[in-house]
Structure 1
Amino acid sequence: MDTIFALSSGAPPAAIGVIRISGPGSGNALQCLAGRLPPARRTSLAKLHDASGDLLDEALILWFPGPATATGEDCAEIHCHGGRAVIAAIGRALAAIPGLRAAEAGEFTRRAFANGRLDLAEAEGLADLLSAETELQRAVAVSAAEGGLSRQFGDWRERLLILSAQIESALDFSDEDDVPDLPDSFLPAYRLLAQELDVVLDRPGLERLKDGIRVVLAGPPNAGKSTLFNAILQSEAAIVSPMAGTTRDVIERPVAIAGIPFVFVDTAGLRDHTADAIEQIGMDRAAGEVLRADIVLWLGQQGDGPEGAWEIETRADESGSVKDAPRHRLSGKTGEGLEGLTEDLARTASSILPKPGAGAANQRQRELLAIARSALGDAPHPDLLLAAEQLRQGRSAFDRILGNTATEDVLDTLFGRFCIGK
């Protein structure tokens, strides 16, 4: 097997650059550059030289003999100065050593999976952790990366194995003329497992967390949608004008509120009809966005918005009240009432999105959980041979979730999400 190396820290220039090496030639790579192999798992200061003897840098080196390493094989790290030239020079020196090559995206983590250092669900959690942009995304992903989901999946698989063993035992000790008996605990345990799968499948999927809560600002022309949109984003993303119909297309921007991901959408004004073909296209797109929304902030006449929309009065800085009982009365110009709106949005989003530690499954995992749940059905089949097949199909789905049986295209897709050096 090749020995791989890559820069695992941020792109240079930086104060420190961390270069990872993994594979059977890791120790030799350190000896070639540093002239010695340091004590295992202890930092050591060394001068690094290339094959010609030219000094490359003075760096900290670490040696991790396998298999108790991140990848399950011999590993090494070089903590050098993070300048572009230094990183490039060390990379050239490593590439010149026979048996070493630059790593591909996700190759370190893929080796960790292949060597049993983590399962597929943990690897997916790690990928999500690396791509997390909000606090809630980080908290949910770190739970999966640390094995929270894997332990749950593994527990369900183990319980299926126990149920299968009970069926096999009943079949083994039955005579041709006897009806085999199962333990009294079998049926309650079977039903409880099915109910637990239902609970997870009823929860929001992980993709909801990645996509964010979609909040659409809707209403007639000149209702203050763009002003409120800019106030929430604290930017001039949308053009604001007293002229009705300024917004002709959909404008959307992602933003985090209290660590929760949102996508705010400003839309064209809605009215009964228009002779302007471009405005009509904008209105059609606005209507489509309203249908896609998780939350609609309605800025038009009270009661004219879609069912479930939040009634918002946006001109609290002006005299008079347009709505009798708006959910929020605020001013996009002065910011009055804006904090109350954002706090309400955050509370509502928390009830929609997955929660840390709650076991949010991604689409692939949910599809396989659904297969397992469908195989189990509402009850075990009266024919124990067929009931055993139900349980076998369920175990097969969990094996695929954990990566015990995984196709190369699934692995390529997952590990291709990782950066080079991870």
Structure 2
Amino acid sequence: MDTIFALASAQGKAGVAVIRLSGSHAHSTAASLTGSPLPFRGMRVRSLYAADGARLDDGLVLTFQAPASFTGEDVAELQIHGSTASVNAVMRCLSDMDGLRLAEPGEFTRRALENGKMDLTQVEGLADLIDAETEAQRKQAQTILAGDLGVFAERWRRDLIRAASLLEAVIDFADEDVPTDVTPEVKSLVTGVMADLQREADGVQIAERIRTGFEVAIVGLPNAGKSTLLNAMAGREAAITSEYAGTTRDVIEVRMDLAGLPVTLLDTAGLRETEDRVESLGIELARKRADSADLRVFLTDDPKDLGVQMMNGDIQVLPKSDLRDPSEGGISGKTGQGIDQLISQISDVLSTRTTSSGIATRERHRVALIKSRESLSSAMAVLESGPDLYDIAAEELRTAIRALETLVGRIGVEDLLDEIFSSFCLGK
């Protein structure tokens, strides 16, 4: 396999830049750059030289011996000064060496997967960690990267293999008296796994929201102050405001971090009947986005005026409190009254929902979990028919096991890998 290299740190000027090499020539390449031997595992401060002897830079050279490395191969990392010129000089030198090539996006991580250093869920966790913008996203990604979902999947797989082996023992000795009825143990194992699979599948929707972000739609009549409220919550002029009704005709989106959760605020068109074709399209879009949002803020005196159904957890606030009697309360994007309380309300509602999230975070995970559970449900139904159909039950258990193996990337995920790794940077 080729020895690959890439800049593992961010592009641009920095205090330190990291260039990573992986493959059978990683150590010898690093040694040739320094002009001196390097340990199989360790770190040394060295000067780096081009093939003609010109000094490139000074840096820290780290070496890792297979299989005790990120990729499972021999790895070397060059930590040099982070100037664009220094990085380009070293990268040109590596490009001119035989047996080396520039890594493809995600190729280091792909080699880690292929060499058994990570499972597929951990790869996804690493991608999520790189993209994490909020504390909740960081914690969730760290959980997946640590391999927690893979640990659960292996435990479920082990229990199902045990259940299948018990059934197959009965099948193998069908002509003999089997001293123990295995059905109770098989049912106990399968029932336990089924409960775990259902719990994790149920938590995927919320976990995926933590990963991709919650949507909170602000809905109200025209000129209720929705855009002004959005701007006040965002702390910037994200939406155009005016005294004319119908100013907002598209959905304005603002990404925010609320209590560590990723939230996209949606400023929607004022909801009313209109003959204006363009405005009516905006109102139709507003209703659709409001219906699909995770949470709606009704900026109105009476939610019934808007034609959008309030759901559990939705929030109603009175608009333009600056024009009201102080005893009425309400909210004002112009004066800031009630803004902090509204943000706190939204955060509390969404934080409460996250308590039901599991460690499975993607629709792919949910599909694998449900497929496995469906096979287990079929197996349980067949078990009721007695030992004569144990072979069918065992096959259903094997189908469930294969679904769990797709979850962690053991089988059937080749088409998925290219899509996942295409989102990685070159140095990952």
Give the partner amino acid of 1:307. M
Distance in 1, Cα, partners of 2:286 & 2:361: 31
1:397 to 394, 403, 428: 403
CA offset at residue 310 of structure 1? 2.1
Give the partner amino acid of 2:85. A
Q: Is contact 1:313–1:322 with CA below 8 Å preserved after alignment? A: no
* Identity in percent: 38
Q: Is contact 2:259–2:347 with CA below 8 Å preserved after alignment? A: yes
SS of the aligned residue for 1:108 comes to helix
1:412: which partner in 2? 418
Normalised to the residue count of structure 2, the TM-score between the two structures is 0.92
Distance in 2, Cα, partners of 1:403 & 1:67: 20
Distance in 1, Cα, partners of 2:423 & 2:411: 20
Q: Is contact 2:170–2:178 with CA below 8 Å preserved after alignment? A: no
2:36: which partner in 1? 36
2:323: which partner in 1? 318
Normalised to the residue count of structure 1, the TM-score between the two structures is 0.94
CA offset at residue 250 of structure 1? 1.3
1:284: which partner in 2? 284
Q: Is contact 1:27–1:37 with CA below 8 Å preserved after alignment? A: no
Indicate the larger mover: 186-195 or 27-36.
Answer: 186-195
1:307: which partner in 2? 310
Give the partner amino acid of 2:310. E
Instruction: Give the unaligned 5+ runs of structure 2.
Output: none
Q: Is contact 1:313–1:329 with CA below 8 Å preserved after alignment? A: yes
Give the partner amino acid of 2:427. G
Q: Is contact 1:316–1:330 with CA below 8 Å preserved after alignment? A: yes
Change in Cα spacing, 1:13 to 1:355, as seen in structure 2 (3 Å) is: farther
Indicate the larger mover: 388-397 or 175-184.
Answer: 175-184
2:108: which partner in 1? 108
Change in Cα spacing, 1:176 to 1:234, as seen in structure 2 (3 Å) is: same
Indicate the larger mover: 157-166 or 291-300.
Answer: 291-300
2:126: which partner in 1? 126
Change in Cα spacing, 1:225 to 1:210, as seen in structure 2 (3 Å) is: same
CA offset at residue 321 of structure 1? 7.3
Indicate the larger mover: 274-283 or 66-75.
Answer: 274-283
Change in Cα spacing, 1:419 to 1:18, as seen in structure 2 (3 Å) is: same
Q: Is contact 2:254–2:264 with CA below 8 Å preserved after alignment? A: yes
The residue correspondences of 1:365-376 to structure 2 (distance < 5 A) are: 365-376=365-376
Give the partner amino acid of 1:421. G
Change in Cα spacing, 1:347 to 1:40, as seen in structure 2 (3 Å) is: same
CA offset at residue 380 of structure 1? 4.5
Give the partner amino acid of 1:415. F
CA offset at residue 400 of structure 1? 1.2
Q: Is contact 2:251–2:268 with CA below 8 Å preserved after alignment? A: yes
Give RMSD over aligned pairs. Answer: 2.0
CA offset at residue 340 of structure 1? 1.3
1:121-148 alpha-carbon deviations (Å, 9 max, x no partner): 1111111111111111111011000101
SS of the aligned residue for 1:405 comes to coil
CA offset at residue 201 of structure 1? 1.1
Give the partner amino acid of 1:313. L
Matched, 1:97 2:100: no
Give the partner amino acid of 2:316. E
Q: Is contact 2:204–2:362 with CA below 8 Å preserved after alignment? A: no
Q: Is contact 1:267–1:286 with CA below 8 Å preserved after alignment? A: yes
Distance in 1, Cα, partners of 2:321 & 2:18: 54
Moved over 4 A (4+): 176-180
Distance in 2, Cα, partners of 1:354 & 1:363: 19
1:4: which partner in 2? 4
1:252-290 alpha-carbon deviations (Å, 9 max, x no partner): 11111111011111111111x222222111111111122
Distance in 2, Cα, partners of 1:291 & 1:319: 29
Distance in 2, Cα, partners of 1:178 & 1:60: 66
Distance in 2, Cα, partners of 1:55 & 1:119: 41
Distance in 1, Cα, partners of 2:23 & 2:224: 63
Q: Is contact 2:27–2:38 with CA below 8 Å preserved after alignment? A: no
Distance in 1, Cα, partners of 2:356 & 2:177: 53
Give the partner amino acid of 1:366. R
Query: How many equivalent residue pairs?
Result: 416
Give the partner amino acid of 2:325. G
Give the partner amino acid of 2:51. A
Q: Is contact 1:6–1:19 with CA below 8 Å preserved after alignment? A: yes
Q: Is contact 1:61–1:76 with CA below 8 Å preserved after alignment? A: yes
1:329: which partner in 2? 330
Give the partner amino acid of 1:386. I
1:176-208 alpha-carbon deviations (Å, 9 max, x no partner): 798983153221221121111111111133432
The residue correspondences of 1:153-168 to structure 2 (distance < 5 A) are: 153-168=153-168
CA offset at residue 26 of structure 1? 0.6
